[in-house]
Each structure stands twice: as C-alpha cells, then as structure tokens.
Amino acid sequence: MSPRDKTASRDGQSASGRNSTVLDIGRPVTPTSSTNVPKPRDIDTPTVMAPRPVPNGKNTKSVFIKTYGCQMNVYDSERMADVLAPIGYAAVDTPDHADLVILNTCHIREKAAEKVYSELGRIRKHQKSNNPDMKVAVAGCVAQAEGAEIKRRAPVVDMVLGPQTYHRLPEMIAKVTRETGDVLETDFDTVEKFDALPAGRNAKGYSAFLTVQEGCDKFCTFCVVPYTRGAEVSRPVDQIVAEARSLASQGVREITLIGQNVDAYHADGPDGSQWGLGNLIRHLAKIGGIDRMRFTTSHPRDMDADLIETLATEPKLMPYLHLPVQAGSDRVLDAMNRGHTYAHYRDLIARIRAARPDIALSGDFIVGFPGETDQDFEDTMNCVREIGYASSFSFKYSVRPGTPGASLPRQVPEDVKSERLKRLQELLYMQQREWNESLIGKTLDVLVEGTARGDGQLFGRSPYLTGTHFDGPEELIGQIVPVTITSAGVNSLVGSIAKT
C-alpha cells in the first residue's frame, strides 16, 4: 500500500491501542487564553518576540528581540528572554522605548550580514533621536562570523555574542552598564551555556522547540554552520528531561527536538549506556502531558536503525520527517561533501517507509551548486519524482564567504539557477498539493493552537505538520481534536470536527 493511502494513528496510542508509560509529572493545566496563530515560519522573514512579562511581575526594564533564520535561532531568542527575566527584563514587541535591543542573526542566506547592518543603521537613528540610553546587542551566527567587523562598522552596538555565549548576557549587560567598555563574546562553549541556563522556561503556546544538540562536524562545502555553531555537542539527558518537564507543566503538548544535526545526538543515559536520539525520544515520551513529539534537522549519515525503529514503535512520534538530500547527482553530492550517495538516500527512505508507512517526507534542495550541469540538475528532478515529498525547502546556491564552495570553479550563472529553481519548485509544489489532497476524507488528530482569521474558525497542526483550519469553539484551543479533512491547498488543510 502506498504511504499516501495511510492515515495517522491517534495521539498517545499505537495502532494496537496501547498507551505509553507515564512519569509522575501529571497532566498540564491548559491555558484558556487564545491568540491568532501566525503563518508557518519563513526562514527569510525575521520575527519579533511577543510581549512577555517577567514571571515575578517586577519588570524594571524592557528588551526587544528580533530573530532571523531557523528554528534554532527562535529557540535561542526564547532562552535569551529566560536568562534576562530574573534581572527584570520583560520582552516587548517594539524597539521604540526598549532599554535593550537584540538582533539574533542568521548567516545561512546571501547578504545576511548586510541586512543586519541596515537594521543597525535604523536603530542608530532611532536611538539618537528618541532613546539615547538604549543598549544594542547583536547575537547569533553573523555575530560569531563577523564580530570584530560589526564592532568596527556599527559603533551603536554595545555587545556582540555568539550562539554559545548568550547565557552570559546578564554579566555582559552589567559590564556595559558599569561603562567598562564594549563586550565581545564569541567563544565556543556549548556545554557551559546549557549548564548555565535555567532548567525552566517561560513557555508560550502548546507546541515548543527543545534544543538537544548543537553544531555540526559534517563540513558540507556550502554551509557555514561548523564555523558559526562549532562542533557537534549533545546536551545531557537530565537537562533535556528537566526542560521538557517544565514545558509540560505549562501546558505544552508537543515538543520538537532540534539540532543542527539532531540525529547525531549521543550522551550517557541514566542506565550508564550511550544513548542515541531514539533512546532519548522514548525516554521523553514517558513524560505526562507531552502527547506529540517531532525532531529536526536530520542528516542521512546519522539516521540509524534504532531511530528508524523508534519511528515505527513510538506512538507519540509524529509521522513527519525532514531529511535533506540537497541534490540527486552523486557528482554534486560529492562536491558538496555530503558523505552519501543518492542510492544510499533512496535506500534509507525505503527503510523508513517500510517502518512507518504513513510518513510524510520533507527535504531540502540546492540548485546551481558550482559545476552543476544540466544532467546533474535532471538527476535532482528524477530524485524528486522517485522519492515524492509532502513538503520541501528549495534554494539557489549562494556563496558563503569562508566556505570551500565559495572558491570552487564553474560557478553557475544566476539566470540558469533561477530557471532551474523555478522548474524544481513547480514539481515540488505539485507533489505537496497532491499529498494534501490525498488527505481529503481522512480524519486526522489536530493540535489546536489558536483562532484563525474567520469568525469561529480555529487553527492547528495535523500530525504531518500541515496547518489545518476548521470551525469550533475556543474551548478546544490546546486540545487534540479529530478533524475530517474536506479540502486542501498547497500549504494548508480545511476540515470539520469529526462526528463521534
């Protein structure tokens, strides 16, 4: 049977109806407030952290945090707010009167640094005319890669901190306040960072990211991550469990375990053995209140048999997998230093689908990598046709200074890259629509996240991560509701509450 002919099983139970063992955290209290739910995150569009009061109510200062890039940066921004809350900083959604402005940057896209400098120029003008006491910090991957240059080009910046040093924010702010000079913190020390972060989090909503791993040792020739995030480091199991319990106690029902290379997770387990991601998932699934789990981003080289078995047997793990291939040509994959062939990827997908037939597959694709020929591109198109994707992310190759790909010969002309990307996206969008349309008539469990734009309409996520709209009372927000799908578009589903 085709994987597109399967429906998702009910959350919290396997197909046979057996329940997972539950630890004694108890069920969470579901918040009653509702919020309008934004569109799915676009990595190229920066987001602003929503207002967040300090838990003890003693707000003495305000911080405006603007986030660029991936879900890891979203998580980092949330943890910055957690670190600042004990010293009285409350998050606000405008820089107008903020005491502190933080730009949490991403280096994955072309001209990322220039966008930061443009933003800093606007902040400088605002500071000069309206808020001279405002402090400014640049965090994230651009800070890590270009810290000294940022200080040289943008004197408005008081603090520059890389991804592994934001736990030092209170100390850095104190130094600036005492006028002891500008602060630049870009050392790699992931273990120290996670040791210093508070175990609890101020959760917002019913779904949350949880970082379990950072950095990457793969050194793909197009990627800056090993240079900005450092080597692969996994968090200790007890830290992750404590954070997951904190999220569950605040009403979070779905957690997504994240890492630059999440499948590379490995740490000493409570039983004394070396745990991989599969062990960690099965352990976290025992926490009461956590009803759904996901993980991203995976690498084909680290998707092991135990993790595949966990996909098959853990009922709380959703049937959605983001597993980038980047290209379908072995010659291009080798030039990218991906460390796998297309045949390896194809066979891996076959094993995953055999273990979890209802899996929805997502992938990443880069077109126009240096030296990519017409035949190489056709190999990528054939890969997409053969594998079939429910969702995807596709981009033109852009030079990342300092990466091996930047100096490769035979750079592909921009117009050729644009034409190839257009053809690839047309195929990927067609597959995405077909996948969504295959769900019409099926009943899916939807985690209701908030209200939608229409009167009486709710919004949630299906097990396949697809945005789903349906009519219902606001009392259902925060619940997992069976919804029968009645129509589908490229990016979303529409349904009605299933009749019992």
Which of 285, 362, 357, 255 has the alpha carbon at shortest distance from 15? 357
Tokens 């954070």, residue located: 243
Helix H or strand E segment including 395: strand 391-396
Helix intervals (H) in 24-111: 71-84
Angle between helices 237-249 and 277-284 (to 10 degrees): 30
Which residue type occupies 494?
V
When computed from its CA atoms, the radius of gyration of the chain, rounded to whole angstroms, is 23
Question: Do 49 and 65 touch, CB atoms closer than 8 A?
Answer: yes
310 upstream amide cis, omega within 30 of 0: no
Which of 72, 74, 82 has the alpha carbon at shortest distance from 46? 74
* CA distance linking residue 305 with residue 366, whole number of Å: 27
Helix H or strand E segment including 102: strand 100-105
The token duo for 282 is: 């099965």
Question: Do 91 and 49 touch, CB atoms closer than 8 A?
Answer: yes
Question: Do 367 and 420 touch, CB atoms closer than 8 A?
Answer: yes
223 is in an annotated binding site: yes
Helix intervals (H) in 165-290: 169-177, 190-196, 225-228, 237-249, 277-284
383 is in an annotated binding site: no
Question: Do 135 and 176 touch, CB atoms closer than 8 A?
Answer: yes
Q: For residue 384, what are the CA distances in angstroms to 171, 296, 346?
A: 49, 20, 11
Helix H or strand E segment including 142: helix 141-153
User: Which residues make Cβ contacts (< 8 Å) with residue 466, sequence separation at least 6?
Assistant: 391, 436, 439, 491, 492, 493
Return the DSSP state at 207.
Answer: E
106 is in an annotated binding site: yes
70 is in an annotated binding site: yes
Check the CA dihedral 412-413-416-421 and report its sign: positive
Check the CA dihedral 88-89-90-96 and report its sign: positive
Q: For residue 369, what are the CA distances in angstroms to 24, 89, 347, 379, 463?
A: 51, 44, 24, 13, 33
Binding residues: 70, 106, 141, 216, 220, 223
Binding residues for [4Fe-4S] cluster: 70, 106, 141, 216, 220, 223
